Amino acid sequence: MKVDELQNEKKWRLLLADDEQIIRSRLQQLGEKLGFVVEAAGDGLEAWEAFKRKMPDLVILDIYMPRMNGLQVLHNIKESYPDCPVILITGFLQYEQLIQKDRVKPDGFIIKPFHLEKIANLMLQLVEARMEVQPVPA
């Protein structure tokens, strides 16, 4: 899927959560450029509350955030809505050890520092896969 194809579709909702403002800002700009309606959160609890209100089509979570970490948010999302794709962001290469302890797995990983093009490709792949199993949102 290309950016213009996504932009021609109805609006997809993206929730992103990171406690670092600069990362939230960069990811929000990227999401908007790709045609998403973006909701940004500064911590895990805020992200979980926003998820329940907005029911996004794609979620990007930092692992280490205040009030509720990204793994807890991931677990909540996948228990409630297992088909919602979730991407985890981490600055640590040992993220696989964290995930192995839990039965809930994310749909993708981004390791900091990251390249926006790589994130964009992953976002588009996950949305394209979701479009194949679910109609485009109204």
pLDDT in the model for residue 5: 52
Average pLDDT over residues 109-123: 89
Mean of the per-residue pLDDT values of the chain? 85
pLDDT at 43 over 90: yes
Give the whole-angstrom CA distance, residue 24 versus residue 40.
7
Give the whole-angstrom CA distance, residue 34 versus residue 16.
14
Percent of the chain exceeding pLDDT 70 equals: 80
Question: Is-cis flag, bond preceding 113, omega within 30?
Answer: yes
Buried b (16+ CB within 10 A) or exposed e, 110-129: beeebeeeebeebbbebbee
* CATH of region 3-129: 3.40.50.2300
Domain-by-domain residue ranges, the chain? 3-129
pLDDT tens digits, one per residue of 93-114:
655 555 555 677 889 888 888 8
Phi, psi of 22 (to 5 degrees): -65, -40
Percent of the chain exceeding pLDDT 90 equals: 62
pLDDT at 1 over 50: no
